[in-house]
Amino acid sequence: MPTSLPSETTMYTALLEKDPAYEGIFFAGITTTGIFCRPTCTARKPKRENVSYFPSTRAALLSGYRPCKICRPLTRSGSPPTWLKPLLEEIESAPETKIKDHDLRTRDLDPNRVRRWFKKHHGMTFQAYQRTLRVSEAFGRIKNGEPVIHAAYEAGYESLSGFGDSFKKATGFSPKGSAAGRIVHTQRILTPLGPMLAGATDDGLCLLEFADRRMVETQMQRLGKRLNAEFIPGANPHIEATRHQLEAYFAGTLQKFDIPLVLAGTPFQQQVWAALQTIPFGKTRSYKEQAEMIGKPTAVRAVARANGDNRLAIIIPCHRVIGADGQLTGYGGGLWRKRYLLDLEIGVLSP
């Protein structure tokens, strides 16, 4: 487990600002109360002299601190709350089921509370999320040769016109054109560094970004144009494989990913991304060395830009590229995430 931490000034500022970029980077122990918190805890912030910092929950617990009941630092960042899990399991196991506000109330759920959670974590209301799941299910059936009318009714639609409207709104094309259309299914994957957004087509993983990165929406727009595809929530076996392999990576038991990848970029970008995948686990390379490796020694800045356009964080390890002077530079997920990943890999090689 990585042990390096940002400066105390940086961490205290992150604590005051509830900065989500530092989720998983440190935990704050409050000496006056004996509890420890996430950087994003909403409780009143303590005085600087009353805070101790830890790289892990284990370190905080071993120092005698108790987990905060407000921010619950022992749960992974982004985990669905306990009260919501039964609903999520229900709609994922039976996406054709339509659950309306009065149905939520019969399950002792506040519709407004559910709506706020889905808007925050998926950018859409609960009802919209249900519709996209139904469309995703129907899309899969049609792609596998099932007639449109059967797919519509199996997805819970009572009319073909209503199904057609919902399908086109979600995907950008009609059900009849779905054989030629392309969908990128998306899901959130929880990691020690916060939630990541994963996207995959039938051919492989095409997106893996930290969910709080400002460039996520721009990357999705660029990727959508490159692949001529639309993004909708839904299950995908490549995402499940990514979830399991990331868990093994963070646990220190996996050093090389073997997930099929869809690399949508210019020939130069693909050349740079291919070079990134040759950097050994736990090792680093400078931007200059990377440029020399692809036979373009003067293209250092272009290489750096291509690294920044990498849409598959961790899987394509741009975190292993550093400055010529050995300093950490240029990581879209934040330099402290980069430090964490490098420390994790070095720690695995030198336990």
pLDDT in tens, the chain (351 residues): 445 678 899 999 999 998 877 877 789 999 998 889 999 898 878 899 999 998 877 778 777 788 888 888 877 666 677 888 899 888 877 777 788 999 999 999 999 988 888 887 777 788 888 877 776 666 655 555 555 555 554 555 544 555 555 555 655 555 554 454 578 888 888 888 878 889 999 899 999 998 877 778 888 888 888 888 878 777 789 999 999 999 999 989 999 999 999 998 899 999 999 999 999 999 999 999 999 999 999 999 999 999 999 999 999 999 999 988 888 888 888 887 888 899 889 988 876
Residue 221 is predicted with a pLDDT of 85
198: enclosing H helix or E strand = strand 196-200
Residue 161 is predicted with a pLDDT of 52
Q: Cα–Cα distances in Å, from 237 out to 53, 169, 195, 258?
A: 39, 25, 19, 13
β 321-322/285-286 pair status: parallel
Flag whether the pTM goes above 0.75: no
Sheet holding 205-210, edge to edge: 205-210, 196-200, 183-189, 230-233
- What 3-state class would DSSP assign to 27? strand
- Alpha-carbon span 178 to 348, nearest angstrom: 45
Q: Nearest Cα to 293, choosing from 275, 274, 317?
A: 275
Residue 1 is predicted with a pLDDT of 43
**132: its two tokens:** 């996209």
β 205-210/196-200 pair status: antiparallel
Describe the crossing of helices 160-171 and 126-143 by its angle, rounded to 10 degrees: 100
272 CB contacts (<8 Å, ≥6 apart)?
Answer: 290, 294, 303, 306, 307
Q: Cα–Cα distances in Å, from 347 out to 252, 284, 318, 342?
A: 8, 14, 18, 8
Instruction: Kindly provide the residue ranges of all beta strands, DSSP E only, lying in 236-296, ordered along the sequence.
Output: 285-286
Q: How many CB atoms neighbour CB 126 within 10 A?
A: 24
Residue 49 is predicted with a pLDDT of 93
- Alpha-carbon span 286 to 304, nearest angstrom: 10
- The rounded Cα 284 to chain-centroid distance in angstroms is 24
Residue 151 is predicted with a pLDDT of 52
Enumerate the active-site residues.
Answer: 37, 318
305: enclosing H helix or E strand = helix 300-308
Residue 127 is predicted with a pLDDT of 84
